[in-house]
Amino acid sequence: MACVNMLLDKCHCASRYGRNAILYNILSQQAVVKPHSQFSHHSCTCQIKRTVCLKTPHITCPTVIEVLVKTVSFMQNLPSFHHLPKEDQLLLLGSCWAPLFLLGLAQEGVNFEVVEIPVQSLLKRLLLNGKELPGVVGAESTQPSIADVQRIKLCLNKFWDLDLTPKEFAYLKGAVLFSADLPGLQATLYVQSLQREAQRVLHEVLVPLQPKDTSRLAPILLTVSALRTISAGVVTELFFRPVIGSTEINQLLIQMFYTKQ
């Protein structure tokens, strides 16, 4: 993560706004960094305008594609998911794949580095009136920023600190997938029951492993909530755009899910 540190070190906003900036305090209080990670806690408002891309996509992309395949396979192997109307399957697939994928990154211990996109490239996009440059697709608002990457890494580091077992990850993914509060669901009550069941079993799995600490479920669910704040657009642009080009990620997910059945 040295490259991210160098990007953050360039910024002098902290000296102008002070260490009491809201974003700095929130990120600093929540950050739990593993020994193998040197990701900086420093954050500032100018990060929103500083976009980044993968430093070594030729190394990272094959790994994240494997994680995406495992994410889709997880959904394919759930009989309860196939009992849902197809419309609900598509809705859950399109809405929940990103946090499930990020959980997969945490489970597989995937690390990655980013580099800042030169300002000149962004200016070219503006001069072209929004026309896409080779290898650059998507709206400006979804282009990953340093702040986006920091949120992702903070969540990953938190899960690595929690040291979840494969069984815990499985039930946690079930609780994430069956989101009963998702607008447009037809089988809302059924999805709600599946979500409650996944959360119940997850709690039962956690308690025997940590008999002296029955509150472990709370930080896990809080970290999942933080994952949900990371947009699917950011995840797509950062991890998959170098591979899928102009293909819509939802089209790819649908093809992956229904082709193998």
Q: Is residue 76 part of a domain?
A: yes
What is the model's pLDDT at position 258?
87
Contacts by 248-252 with C-beta closer than 8 Å and gap 24+?
249/97, 250/93, 250/94
Q: Which residue has the tokens 């709690």?
A: 203
Query: Is the four-CA dihedral 73, 65, 257, 163 of positive or negative sign?
Result: positive
Q: Is residue 8 part of a domain?
A: no
Q: Is residue 38 part of a domain?
A: no
Cα–Cα distance measured from residue 103 to residue 125, given in angstroms and rounded to the nearest whole number: 33
Decide: helix, strand or coil at residue 134: coil
Torsion of the alpha carbons at 64, 65, 67 and 72, rounded to the nearest 10: 150
What is the model's pLDDT at position 28?
44
Distances (CA, A) of 34 to 111, 163, 188: 12, 11, 39
CATH of the domain at 242: 1.10.565.10
Q: Is residue 149 part of a domain?
A: yes
What is the model's pLDDT at position 123?
60
Has this prediction a pTM greater than 0.85? no
Q: Is residue 151 part of a domain?
A: yes
Residue 227 contacts residue 103 (beta carbons within 8 Å): yes
Domain total in the chain? 1
Full pLDDT tens readout for the chain, 261 residues? 445 544 544 454 544 434 444 443 444 454 443 433 444 444 455 555 689 999 999 999 999 999 999 999 999 999 999 999 999 999 999 999 999 999 999 999 999 999 998 765 556 666 665 554 443 433 345 789 999 999 999 999 999 998 898 988 998 999 899 998 899 999 999 999 999 998 888 888 877 655 565 567 778 888 999 999 999 999 999 999 999 999 999 999 999 998 855
What is the model's pLDDT at position 127?
65
Q: Is residue 84 part of a domain?
A: yes
Neighbours of 106 (CB within 10 A): 23
What is the model's pLDDT at position 140?
43
Q: Which residues pair with 54 in a beta bridge?
A: 114
Q: Is residue 45 part of a domain?
A: no
Q: Is residue 57 part of a domain?
A: yes
Range of the domain at 191: 50-126+142-258
